[in-house]
Amino acid sequence: MKVLDFPLAKITISFILGILVCYYWQPTIYITGCILIITGLFFSILYFLSGKNKTLHLFFGISSCLISFWFGIITLLLHTDSLKPSNYIHYKKAFEDEQPISFTLTEQLKSNRYNDRYVASLNHINGSTYTGKIIVNIKKENTRNTLLIGNTIQTKAILQHTTGPKNPNQFDYAKYLSNKNIYAQLYVSRSEIKVSKKIRKDIWFYAARLNSRIVRNLEKAHFSKIEMNVALALILGQRQEISSDIIKDYQYSGATHILSVSGLHVGFIMLFVLFILKPIPNTRKGSFLKLVAILISLSLFGIISGLSPPVLRSVIMFSFLAIGNHLRRGSNIYHTLLVSVLLILLFEPYFLFDVGFQLSYIALFSIVWIQPLLKEIWKPKNKICNYIWEALVVSFAAQIGTFPICLYYFHQFPCLFFVTNILILPILSFIMITGIVVMLISVFFSCPVLLIKIFEKSIYILNRITHGVASLESFVIRDIGFNFYYFLTFYGLIITTVIWLKKPGYPKLIAIFISVIFVQLSFIMTRKDVEEKHEFIVYHTNKKTVITERTGTNILFFTTENFEKKGAEKYSIDPVIGNSGSIKSVSKIKNTFFFNNQKILLIDSSGIYKKNSCPDILILTQSPKINLDRMLLELKPKIIVADASNSYSIQKYWKLTCLKKRIPYHSTGEMGFYKLK
């Protein structure tokens, strides 16, 4: 049976389209509700009439898709916290002046150099009840962190909007948080907070307590800190304490997916439970007993790992696979996956925009769809060869499916991913089984030292393998320009090619040729866009001045520091990614630029300038000691640009001066990079 012939496939696709349309359009709940009621009436009428008249079946199917589409729209609207009147985003004073704020910690995030970071649920602002999630940054101190998930905290602070990217092609952290319904952050020190003695004891509290108990018992057993952090990431998905060097090794070796709890980890748990219950016969009662055991095991794993969204997604996905297998629907695994997608998005529609969610399902669909095709290429009789071949086939199937989306989001490709997967798969299987046993024992008491040492050594070997592969950096292709045109056309090519390979036919071959034409068109369109680019950018870089002038694919890179061309990697900006450009030259910053018939004057810490230069644009860098009032009278610029190399106090004075003189003022710290086209 074809996947799209299954009614739920069409309903799920329509529901997803509704979510996407709502995300970019955002109609009002009133309009959506009215249309949904009208669509529901047509659906009900057609439901009764189609039973008597078969010619109406098509219209009934269309109405089913339409009602699913509008359900997708209203589901996203109802899950958008900013649209709720009680959300703190509507209390403007909280973003302008200090207000008494009460919130409850719900999740611990990875700390940075200066702050311990949490997700918190807001309770009150200035005595009034407000709802919503915020990021709480608590300044680190020498004392031990005693805060717990469930602690209710009172403080006096200003909520701060999360700003968008300050430079082109950077990760949009504000959008990322917005997709999690988080719209603000606050910064406080330990002395400014008051922790309530009463703790909110919900499921998140008990999950965090279990997690903390496991960590304490592992520490008591003298588990090496580096290996323990990797173990917590591998088994429980807790990446808060893992070092950036370890993460880099796993990224460059193509094994990042194993540090995030996903279908791979939950699948291991399911297989482990099935292995233990193998003596139970596959009778009706025996099968039901296995199903209950799997569902309980997966639920307990979700709780122990802290109920993080990636874990919950994987648990739900494999729970449905287990239910489908129990109902003898293993052949329709696509349908089981579609049911899990629909259920997850029904309760958390914003997961659709989460990269982890997209990668998990695309990888799993790819393995199910493409792996049987690749497996038929060769059928080795030797067991070792067969194991290596199966590992390669699964790895390639997942990589083929996720290739465009990985390039679109991460702009890099580890060429040795298949080598890594072959090398780590045997030891990873052992680590997962041993790790589950260690974590279960650590829930109750300290784990035996021998078991800890075996587990620790296996993780050490895993780290050494990934480090060895990652050290071959020449096999990691970075800074790959991959835009949305490529993303769509490459997926079109992959889908049409796989469909043709499964059952060759002339119309399917034509579809492949059309896909190839679209890929070529995407390259032509991108090339045309790039060659027409002509821009001048002042970047936001702390304590430095960085300017680029671009003509087509050639980029002239200017900075206050002397370094070789390869030194551009030091900077937190990348003018190349996504734009198919290349740095032609790197030069010391100069004081005068000319761009599109406009004169640009740059004044640095020396404060020296020609009185009669009359620039169109004035760039201030390195906190020059100048009298801005007098300078504006002498130079008469049309706009002032100040980058992040200037001190905050000086920029505050400049802003007020420009406001009085009615001259536009652009601070990269507030408004991000400045661009001329």
Q: What is the mean pLDDT of residues 259-271?
A: 70
Question: Are 524 and 538 in a shared domain?
Answer: no
Q: What is the pLDDT of residue 385?
A: 80
Alpha-carbon span 306 to 207, nearest angstrom? 5
pLDDT digits (tens, 9 = 90+) for 323-365: 777 776 544 677 777 888 888 899 889 989 988 888 888 888 8
Alpha-carbon span 70 to 112, nearest angstrom? 42
Question: Are 413 and 269 in a shared domain?
Answer: yes
Alpha-carbon span 463 to 233, nearest angstrom? 13
CB contact set of 425 (below 8 Å; sequence gap of 6+): 391
Residue bearing the bigger pLDDT, 434 or 136: 136
Alpha-carbon span 30 to 338, nearest angstrom? 29
Residue bearing the bigger pLDDT, 241 or 499: 499
Residue bearing the bigger pLDDT, 387 or 216: 216
Q: What is the pLDDT of residue 371?
A: 87
Asked if residue 60 is part of any domain, the answer here is yes
Q: What is the 3-state secondary structure (H, E, C) of 318-377?
A: HHHHHHHHHCCCHHHHHHHHHHHHHHHHHHCHHHHHCHHHHHHHHHHHHHHHHHHHHHCC
Question: Are 450 and 587 in a shared domain?
Answer: no
Q: Amino acid identity, residue 172?
A: D
Q: pLDDT band at residue 395, thresholds of 50, 70 and 90?
A: confident
Alpha-carbon span 575 to 487, nearest angstrom? 20
pLDDT digits (tens, 9 = 90+) for 471-498: 888 888 877 878 889 999 999 999 999 9
pLDDT digits (tens, 9 = 90+) for 13-56: 999 999 999 999 888 888 888 888 898 888 888 878 776 777 77
Q: Which domain holds residue 59?
A: 3-78
Q: What is the pLDDT of residue 201?
A: 78
CB contact set of 179 (below 8 Å; sequence gap of 6+): 350, 353, 354
Question: Are 367 and 227 in a shared domain?
Answer: yes
State residue 614 phi and psi, 5-degree precision: 50, 65
Question: Are 271 and 163 in a shared domain?
Answer: no
Q: What is the mean pLDDT of residues 370-380?
A: 85
Among 200, 220, 241, the domain boundary falls at 200
Q: Give the torsion sign (CA, 85, 90, 93, 97).
A: positive
Place of tokens 């086209």: 677
Asked if residue 304 is part of any domain, the answer here is yes
Q: What is the pLDDT of residue 562?
A: 61
pLDDT digits (tens, 9 = 90+) for 118-132: 999 999 999 899 999
Alpha-carbon span 75 to 350, nearest angstrom? 10
Alpha-carbon span 508 to 491, nearest angstrom? 15
Structure tokens at 391: 């590992």
Q: What is the 3-state secondary structure (H, E, C) of 433-474?
A: HHHHHHHHHHHHCCCCHHHHHHHHHHHHHHHHHHHHHHCCHH
Could you write out the DSSP letters of every residue in 186-214?
Answer: EEE-GGGEEEEEEE--SHHHHHHHHHHHH
Contact assessment for residue 237 and residue 404, using Cβ atoms and an 8 Å cutoff? no
Place of tokens 């129990």: 326
pLDDT digits (tens, 9 = 90+) for 398-427: 889 988 998 888 888 888 887 887 788 778
pLDDT digits (tens, 9 = 90+) for 638-673: 999 999 999 988 999 999 999 998 999 999 988 889
Asked if residue 372 is part of any domain, the answer here is yes
Among 529, 547, 562, the domain boundary falls at 529
Among 33, 52, 78, the domain boundary falls at 78
Tell me what percent of the residues of the chain surpass a pLDDT of 90. 26
Q: Give the torsion sign (CA, 327, 329, 333, 337).
A: negative
Residue bearing the bigger pLDDT, 6 or 232: 232
Asked if residue 205 is part of any domain, the answer here is no
Question: Are 379 and 497 in a shared domain?
Answer: no
26: left (phi over 0), alpha (psi -120 to 50) or beta: left
Structure tokens at 248: 């880099």
Chain mean pLDDT for the chain: 84
Q: What is the pLDDT of residue 281?
A: 80
Closest CA relative to residue 226, chosen from 27, 460, 384? 460
Question: Are 136 and 272 in a shared domain?
Answer: no
pLDDT digits (tens, 9 = 90+) for 550-609: 888 888 888 887 655 444 444 445 544 445 667 777 888 888 999 988 999 999 888 888
pLDDT digits (tens, 9 = 90+) for 47-88: 787 767 777 777 888 888 899 999 999 999 999 999 999 999
Structure tokens at 642: 């100040």
Contact assessment for residue 656 and residue 662, using Cβ atoms and an 8 Å cutoff? no
pLDDT digits (tens, 9 = 90+) for 298-315: 887 777 766 666 677 778
Q: What is the pLDDT of residue 350?
A: 92
Question: Are 228 and 357 in a shared domain?
Answer: yes
Bridge partners, residue 555, by sequence: 550, 583
Q: Please give the radius of gyration of the chain, using alpha carbons only, rounded to the nearest integer.
A: 29
Asked if residue 311 is part of any domain, the answer here is yes
Q: What is the pLDDT of residue 396?
A: 85
Q: What is the pLDDT of residue 185?
A: 93
Q: What is the pLDDT of residue 563?
A: 53
pLDDT digits (tens, 9 = 90+) for 502-537: 888 889 999 999 999 999 999 999 888 888 888 999
Q: Look up the CATH number of the domain holding residue 134.
A: 2.40.50
Tally of structural domains, the chain: 5
Question: Are 109 and 48 in a shared domain?
Answer: no
Quote the pTM value. 0.83
Question: Are 220 and 175 in a shared domain?
Answer: no
Closest CA relative to residue 269, chosen from 424, 431, 436? 436
Asked if residue 327 is part of any domain, the answer here is yes
Closest CA relative to residue 400, chosen from 366, 369, 355, 359? 366
Residue bearing the bigger pLDDT, 527 or 263: 527
Alpha-carbon span 205 to 239, nearest angstrom? 19
Asked if residue 587 is part of any domain, the answer here is yes
Question: Are 322 and 359 in a shared domain?
Answer: yes
Q: pLDDT band at residue 268, thresholds of 50, 70 and 90?
A: confident
Q: Which residues of 397-409 are buried (b: 16+ CB within 10 A; e: fewer)?
A: bbbbbbbbbbbbe
Question: Are 284 and 336 in a shared domain?
Answer: yes
**What DSSP designation does 113 have?**
S
Q: What is the pLDDT of residue 579?
A: 55
Q: What is the pLDDT of residue 267?
A: 73
Asked if residue 83 is part of any domain, the answer here is no
